[in-house]
Amino acid sequence: MPVKSQQRRQTDQVRTNIIAGTTPKTTPSTRKRDVALSKSNSSETRTSSCLSIPIENNSKESRHHKPMKIITEVDETNIDEILNLSDLSRVPTTFLTEIRQDKVYGTILKEIQKKLPPQPPITLLEQEQQKSLPSHQLNDDIFLDYDTNNTNDILSSASSEDPTSSQDGYDTDIESEIIISSDHDITGRAQYHELCVQSKIVPCSYFMAHIQDKEMILRHHQFNTDDIRAIAKALSSNISIERLFLDGNYLQQQAATYLSEMIVANEFITELSLADNRLGGGAGGVGTIEICKMLTLNRNLKKINLSGNQFNDLDANLLIEAFEHNKTLRELNLSHNCFGEECGKILGAFISGNESLEAIDLSWNKIRGRSAIDVAHGIKENVRLKRCNLEMNGFGPDGGQILADCIQQNAALEEFNISSNRLNTPNAFTIAKALLANDSLQVLKIADNQINSDGALAIFLCVKTNESSIIREVDFSHTVVTQEVLDTCEDIVRLKDGKFRYRTGKVTPKILQPNSISECYIPTDEQVLNKLRSKAANAKLHAP
């Protein structure tokens, strides 16, 4: 028969003494077990040569456990009595554990299992917890009720020696976690872990830690195709993340396919950033096609950033067709691409007829010449666009007149960036006149153009003159101005109670003023400038 170690005998002896000499404390689990035992004991009286439990009708005494005899050792002398017991709850756990592990006692085990009550299946988490515990701490429920506080000292020495009981709190990509599969995994964490194991890749700890947040930022992680596949599959069923940023990961064509399928399946992501991933660069490329498929089928995206993806005129037709099918998009960023002179017509037509976009960014492209004029016409005719960024293109003097018309006729435009577009001083005067009739524009950025101090002065004078103007910021960075320009700006700040910001370049020293006598000075209409000065002065007199 199995032989116990000396330490186990001492532990069982201590337990026997505790049960025989003390009265256990009542806990919720103890009460439940007492109720179950009392119901079964009411139908039959248990008798055994090795076990005696006195039962009395006195209700007062039945509230406390009586000293009782339990089996501390099983050997050849009492094995027959064990097999004849109707209740095996007094049999030591160590005995049951040892006969389960040794095939020699198979017959005895079968007889005992017939009398053991059926137990519910052990979950994966319980299996892991039992593996981390010493053998003498398993299945404590089959012992009699006794004061658990008195036995903590007995078991503490063994549990402190178990290295698996200590947990560190480090969050690294190489840590192992217990994943419990679920049919209703609303985060996708279990699926992500499983896919990482299948693909033999290291899970991203940041992704795992923030998978239940509203925002997931995964910029510049250098993900490969397998990484993107695991992330995309996990996010397909995620209901928490609303904003996803995957900038600068140099996604390959197959990765674009996985992301497209994920965005189509996910109904909760409303903002997606795929900047600097080189998804474009040719007619009919896989990256461009997948982006178009995603935009056509998705009905939840409100904001998308496709900047820095090398989209060119050959990609424009496919992209614009997809944009026209999408009626939910509110913000579109196509900056830092290669759109040029051949796509202006279809791009302008798209902007003109679109009724859902509120913001578009076409900065840092190659839109110039006739293409720039077509785009400007589209902006002028749009009735919903609030923010438009055309910085670092080539609208030039020819496009400057149309840009002025945009300011004058578009009543929805609130922010307009036309910096670095080779605009000249006559364009500035035209824009200044447009500002006299505008009451919706709030921000005008017109820095780094070929505009001199008189052009900047004309614009600031018109802002000061128009009492219905709500403009709060004008950016003339790097434009050299005179002291008169700065004085006009300060007047505007006072008129608007400090709710006005301006930026200019350096101030021309007085020794160089007026600059109209300089050979490099571009002549302006001094008569028009004087009229603007007069109107601005009158506006100042009528200001509260």
What is the SS3 string spanning 354-375?
A: CCCCCEEECCCCCCEHHHHHHH
Are 353 and 323 within one domain? Answer: no
* Model pLDDT, residue 496: 94
- pLDDT exceeding 70 applies to what percent of the chain? 64
* Model pLDDT, residue 151: 40
473 vs 221: CA distance, rounded Å: 37
Burial (CB < 10 A; 0-12, 13-18, 19+), residue 165, is exposed
In a domain, 21, yes or no: yes
pLDDT in tens, 462-496: 999 999 999 999 999 999 999 999 999 999 999 99
* Model pLDDT, residue 185: 73
Are 88 and 45 within one domain? Answer: yes
* Model pLDDT, residue 109: 72
* Model pLDDT, residue 538: 81
Q: Over 60: is that where the pLDDT of 348 sits?
A: yes
**More reliable by pLDDT, 375 or 187:** 375
In a domain, 197, yes or no: yes
Please, which residues have CB within 8 angstroms of residue 95's CB and are 6 or more apart in sequence?
Answer: 2, 74
Q: Work out the pLDDT band at 334, boundaries 50, 70, 90.
A: very high
Output the CA–CA distances (angstroms, integers) from residue 458 to 63, 73, 426, 526, in the order listed.
Answer: 98, 105, 10, 10
* Mean pLDDT calculated for residue range 295-303: 95
Last-in-domain residue among 331, 358, 389:
331
* Mean pLDDT calculated for residue range 384-388: 97
* Mean pLDDT calculated for residue range 42-62: 41
CB-side neighbour CA atoms (13 Å) of 473: 12
Question: How many domains are contained in the chain?
Answer: 4
**Helices (H), strands (E): how many in the chain?**
20, 11
In a domain, 442, yes or no: no
Are 281 and 359 within one domain? Answer: no
Q: Over 90: is that where the pLDDT of 174 sits?
A: no
* Model pLDDT, residue 285: 82
* Mean pLDDT calculated for residue range 361-369: 97
Q: Over 80: is that where the pLDDT of 356 sits?
A: yes
In a domain, 434, yes or no: no
Are 70 and 12 within one domain? Answer: yes
* Model pLDDT, residue 76: 63
Q: Which of 112-121, 127-136, 160-169 has the lowest mean pLDDT?
A: 160-169
* Model pLDDT, residue 72: 60
Smallest CA-to-CA distance from 336 within 285, 276, 290 is with 276
In a domain, 36, yes or no: yes
* Mean pLDDT calculated for residue range 364-371: 96
CATH of the domain at 303: 3.80.10.10
Q: Over 50: is that where the pLDDT of 98 sits?
A: yes
* Model pLDDT, residue 512: 62
In a domain, 179, yes or no: no
- Pull the structure tokens for residue 488: 């006009």
* Mean pLDDT calculated for residue range 191-220: 95
* Model pLDDT, residue 13: 61
Last-in-domain residue among 112, 139, 159:
159
Which of 120-124, 161-165, 417-421 has the largest mean confidence?
417-421
* Model pLDDT, residue 257: 95
* Model pLDDT, residue 157: 39
In a domain, 214, yes or no: yes
* Mean pLDDT calculated for residue range 339-358: 95
pLDDT in tens, 316-332: 999 999 999 999 999 99
pLDDT in tens, 135-147: 444 444 433 333 4
* Model pLDDT, residue 33: 39
Q: Work out the pLDDT band at 284, boundaries 50, 70, 90.
A: low
H helices present in 116-204, as ranges = 124-131, 148-160, 189-199
Instruction: Kindly state the DSSP code that residue 187 receives in the 8-state scheme.
Output: S
Could you tell me the sign of the dihedral formed by the alpha carbons of 139, 144, 150, 154, in that order?
A: negative
Q: Over 90: is that where the pLDDT of 35 sits?
A: no
* Model pLDDT, residue 297: 95
Q: Sheet harboring 215-217: ordered strands across?
A: 215-217, 243-245, 271-273, 303-305, 331-333, 359-361, 387-389, 415-417, 443-445, 473-475, 501-503
Which of 80-94, 117-131, 208-222 has the largest mean confidence?
208-222
* Model pLDDT, residue 52: 39
Q: Over 50: is that where the pLDDT of 62 sits?
A: no
Are 224 and 295 within one domain? Answer: yes
69 vs 20: CA distance, rounded Å: 8
Q: Other C-beta atoms within 10 Å of 227: how many?
A: 23
Last-in-domain residue among 331, 366, 382:
331
Q: Which of 450-454, 508-512, 516-520, 532-536 has the lowest mean pLDDT?
A: 516-520
**More reliable by pLDDT, 526 or 105:** 526
Look over the chain and give the mean of its residue pLDDT values, rounded to a whole number: 78
Q: Which of 50-59, 247-256, 360-369, 432-441 has the lowest mean pLDDT?
A: 50-59
- For the entire predicted model, the pTM comes to 0.67
Q: Over 50: is that where the pLDDT of 287 sits?
A: yes
Are 327 and 359 within one domain? Answer: no
- Is 373:401 a contact under the CB 8 Å cutoff? no
* Mean pLDDT calculated for residue range 441-459: 96
* Model pLDDT, residue 253: 82
Are 87 and 103 within one domain? Answer: yes
In a domain, 104, yes or no: yes
Could you tell me the sign of the dihedral formed by the alpha carbons of 298, 299, 300, 303, in that order?
A: positive
Are 412 and 461 within one domain? Answer: no
Q: Over 60: is that where the pLDDT of 267 sits?
A: yes
End-to-end CA distance of the chain: 106
Q: Which of 77-81, 233-237, 445-449 has the lowest mean pLDDT?
A: 77-81
Q: Which of 4-18, 32-46, 437-451 has the lowest mean pLDDT?
A: 32-46
Are 120 and 250 within one domain? Answer: no
Are 408 and 462 within one domain? Answer: no
Q: Which domain holds residue 195?
A: 188-331
Are 376 and 490 within one domain? Answer: no
pLDDT in tens, 208-258: 999 999 999 999 999 999 999 999 999 999 999 999 999 999 988 889 999
* Mean pLDDT calculated for residue range 365-392: 97
Are 46 and 101 within one domain? Answer: yes
* Model pLDDT, residue 247: 97
